[in-house]
Structure formats: structure tokens, C-alpha cells
């Protein structure tokens, strides 16, 4: 073992940097999927409301 090995933290620092990078990527993925889920919910509500309006018009026209 050399003197440099005693105080060399480069492996630890590399691991910390990789962990931080993976954390950022993970949060971006979570944010992206949450956004897509939100868009999906909004689209489903719009489709439901459009169907309800069409059904109301159809019922009103048949009377």
C-alpha cells in the first residue's frame, strides 16, 4: 500500500457523483411520467364530458 492510498477518496467521490446523477435521472423520469399521467387524466375527462354532452343532445333531440 502506498502513502497515496491512505487519503485517496477518488473512488468514493466517483460513486457519489454516479449516485447523484442517477438520482437526477430518476427524478426526471418520475416528473415525466407524472406529467404524462396528468395529460392522460385530462384527456379522459375531456372525452367523458364530450360523451356526456353528445348523450344529452341525443336525448333532448329525441323528445
Q: Over the chain, what is the mean pLDDT?
A: 92
pLDDT on residue 4: 61
**What is the distance between the alpha carbons of residues 28 and 34, in angstroms, rounded to a whole number?**
10
pLDDT on residue 16: 95
pLDDT on residue 10: 86
Q: Give per-residue pLDDT as tens, 5-29.
A: 677 788 899 999 999 999 999 999 9
Q: Would you say residue 63 has pLDDT above 90?
A: no
Closest CA to 40 of 32, 25, 28, 24: 32
Amino acid at each position: 500500500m502506498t502513502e497515496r492510498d491512505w487519503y485517496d477518496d477518488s473512488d468514493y467521490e466517483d460513486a457519489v457523483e454516479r449516485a447523484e446523477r442517477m438520482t437526477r435521472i430518476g427524478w426526471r423520469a418520475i416528473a415525466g411520467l407524472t406529467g404524462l399521467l396528468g395529460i392522460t387524466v385530462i384527456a379522459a375527462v375531456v372525452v367523458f364530458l364530450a360523451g356526456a354532452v353528445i348523450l344529452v343532445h341525443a336525448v333532448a333531440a329525441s323528445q
